[in-house]
């Protein structure tokens, strides 16, 4: 890694730590430069604005999500096995908080490139879940008349309530309850035996 | 209303507008005083710290939630009619954003009195939903072996995904999908005919 790439990575790592506590809005270029002992101009050489840094954080998180959640699931057989893997990988990903859940709520009323990017990514995720449910219909795992978009909507619901119960309420049963909800959704979607 | 109470209300109203865009973290006492043309000491006479102002905002929102969502539902007959009213009132409440959803995500990693208050209120809501499902069991609307806590967990899930789909994705079908998910949950819970 070149020195420039190394510094860039150091800035991003630190920004992620700040955002985990204070949200994307809590990432200020000024205090970031101070905290990691960089001049403001040194920081600006890497990120010219707060928005640019936020976007790069979101892009980094999106790439990690694909690597850790989506890609391993897509190596599973099509249909139900893939959906189950997706769900489990997603719970694991979520355990330490998800910058997209935070950003979704934080940015929903803040027009701009960061909001656009988050909405785009979250829409892409919904589309990908819908597509996965359609494949499960094609494979004969789910019934032909299932509303695949509704399935995706309800799968996202379980994900969000898991974040809520696990991160805010610290409910030790959060994962168990999320799995029970997902199983109920699968049972509802299942093709008649 | 006394002049003091009036000023206090003006501070709160303005803080709510700031929080709607930037979250609770975006409410700074300094810029708030400037914006509404109050001296810092004038502001401090009402709220001595950012945390105290945040807490008062959350208390205000909790009181409004009870008045607009819970109380009208509790005037409906016990059991299923009450749960249905609760759900519809909740969707209405949510349409313009919900400070508790924002605060849940924003504060989950920020120990303190504001976080404690949000967690307490959200737990109380889950308990209230659980109790409402238990009453629906007693009334014979829901089956005897229903897991009422799981019902509450899944009802909360629908609420959160509605917020997500409506506020972030601006999905025009968000309310329709939320209602379909709730109907599916009711059908699952229903006592055998």
Could you count the other beta carbons within 10 Å of the beta carbon of residue A72? 14
The pLDDT tens digits for A72-91 are: 999 999 999 999 999 999 99
CA distance linking residue B176 with residue B167, whole number of Å: 14
The nearest CA of chain A is from the CA of B8 a distance in Å of 25
The pLDDT tens digits for A129-159 are: 999 999 999 999 999 999 999 999 999 999 9
The average pLDDT across B86-104 equals 88
The residue of B108, B117, B181, B182 whose CB has the most chain A CBs within 10 angstroms, and thus the best one to mutate to test that interface, is: B108
Domains and CATH numbers, chain B: 1-48 (1.10.10.60), 49-189 (1.10.357.10)
Q: What tokens appear for B116 in the block?
A: 């404690």
Query: How many secondary structure helices (H) and strands (E) does chain A include?
Result: 10, 0
For helices A3-22 and A99-107, the axis angle rounded to 10 degrees is 70
Residues of chain A in contact with residue B105, where contact means CB-CB under 8 angstroms, are 23, 101-102, 105-106, 163, 167-168
Residues of chain A in contact with residue B123, where contact means CB-CB under 8 angstroms, are 169
Q: Do A26 and B25 touch (CB under 8 A)?
A: yes
Residue B1 has pLDDT above 70, yes or no: no
DSSP A40: H
Residues of chain A in contact with residue B22, where contact means CB-CB under 8 angstroms, are 25, 110
Residue B72 has pLDDT above 90, yes or no: yes
Q: What tokens appear for B11 in the block?
A: 């501070």
pLDDT value at residue B108: 85
> Would you say B106 and B20 are in contact if contact means Cβ atoms under 8 Å apart?
no
Chain A residue whose CA is closest to B26: A25
Q: Do A109 and B20 touch (CB under 8 A)?
A: yes
pTM for the complete prediction? Answer: 0.92
Q: Do B164 and A156 touch (CB under 8 A)?
A: yes
> Would you say A132 and A83 are in contact if contact means Cβ atoms under 8 Å apart?
yes
> Would you say A70 and A129 are in contact if contact means Cβ atoms under 8 Å apart?
no
> Would you say A175 and A184 are in contact if contact means Cβ atoms under 8 Å apart?
no
ipTM score of complex: 0.91
Least confident interval from B96-100, B112-116, B121-125: B96-100
> Would you say A147 and B173 are in contact if contact means Cβ atoms under 8 Å apart?
no
Q: What tokens appear for B63 in the block?
A: 């009181």
Mean pLDDT of chain B: 92
Strand partners, B142: B190
Q: Do B22 and A23 touch (CB under 8 A)?
A: no
Q: What tokens appear for A86 in the block?
A: 């997706």
pLDDT value at residue A1: 58
The nearest CA of chain B is from the CA of A118 a distance in Å of 8
The pLDDT tens digits for A18-62 are: 888 888 887 888 888 888 888 888 888 899 888 999 999 999 999
Measured in whole angstroms, the distance separating CA A163 from the mean position of its chain's CA atoms is 11
Q: Which residues of A touch B (CB under 8 A)?
A: 20-23, 25-26, 97, 101-102, 104-110, 118-119, 122-123, 126, 147, 149-150, 153-154, 156-158, 160-161, 163-165, 167-170, 177, 180-181, 184, 188
> Would you say A107 and A100 are in contact if contact means Cβ atoms under 8 Å apart?
no
The nearest CA of chain B is from the CA of A114 a distance in Å of 12
CA distance linking residue A116 with residue A55, whole number of Å: 10
Mean pLDDT of chain A: 92
């Amino acid at each position: 890694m070149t020195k420039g790439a190394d510094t860039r990575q150091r800035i991003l790592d630190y920004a992620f730590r700040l955002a985990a506590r204070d949200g994307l809005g809590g990432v200020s270029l000024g205090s970031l430069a101070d905290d990691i002992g960089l001049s403001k101009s040194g920081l600006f050489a890497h990120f010219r604005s707060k928005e640019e840094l936020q976007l790069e954080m979101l892009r980094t998180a999106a790439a990690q999500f694909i690597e850790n959640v989506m890609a391993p699931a897509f190596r599973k057989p099509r249909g139900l096995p893939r959906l189950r893997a997706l769900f489990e990988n997603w719970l694991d990903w979520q355990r330490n908080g998800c910058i997209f859940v935070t950003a979704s709520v934080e940015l929903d009323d803040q027009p701009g490139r960061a909001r656009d990017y988050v909405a785009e990514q979250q829409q892409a995720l919904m589309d990908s879940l819908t597509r996965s449910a359609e494949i499960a219909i094609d494979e004969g795992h789910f019934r032909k008349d299932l509303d695949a978009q509704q399935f995706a909507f309800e799968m996202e619901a379980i994900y969000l309530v898991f974040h809520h119960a696990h991160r805010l309420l610290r409910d030790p049963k959060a994962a168990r309850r999320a799995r029970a909800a997902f199983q109920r959704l699968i049972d509802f979607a299942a093709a008649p035996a």
